[in-house]
Amino acid sequence: MEDSEYQVSFRFVEGIATADCAVEIQAESPEAIFEDAAVSMMSRMTELRSIKSCMKWEVAVEDDSLERLLYGWLSELVFIRDSENVLFSEFEIDSLEIGQICRLRATVKGERIDHNRHEISVDIKAVTMHMLRIQKEASGWSAFVIFDL
């Protein structure tokens, strides 16, 4: 899958901190925010087109706010990546419930890291709560996330 296959709705923000990477995301729906946040995280680490979609994971997270749900979603992807030594190339939000308890179910595809094919430019160690936001705006949805490198 090539990076150009994704319609880019995010931009990396420079100058937040030297050991961090910040990303602003604009999307039409909250589901797209969650997908694009995951795409931005993986595309910061390596070329998405180098990752085959030959393995699949079902991911489910819940929390008491949309911001904490976004944090939990991205943190779960970092955990799976680290514990199973994999990279992801496709993210599909199967369901998203927004309420007193927010719930997300998603399907994620990717493959085991192959250092002969995957050039890891940056290792994202964690997602931070610092300045994290997701909100509805007049023109759609926006989010801001900082990754710890």
The pLDDT-based confidence of 11 (bands split at 50, 70, 90) is low
pLDDT digits (tens, 9 = 90+) for 45-81: 999 999 999 999 999 999 999 999 999 999 999 999 9
pLDDT digits (tens, 9 = 90+) for 114-149: 999 999 988 999 999 999 999 999 999 999 999 998
The pLDDT-based confidence of 12 (bands split at 50, 70, 90) is low
Domain 3-148 is in which class? alpha beta
Q: Where do the domains of the chain lie?
A: 3-148
Residue for token pair 């992801």? 88
What is the pTM for the complete model shown? 0.87
Report which of 17, 33, 13 is spatially closest to residue 133, judged by C-alpha positions: 33
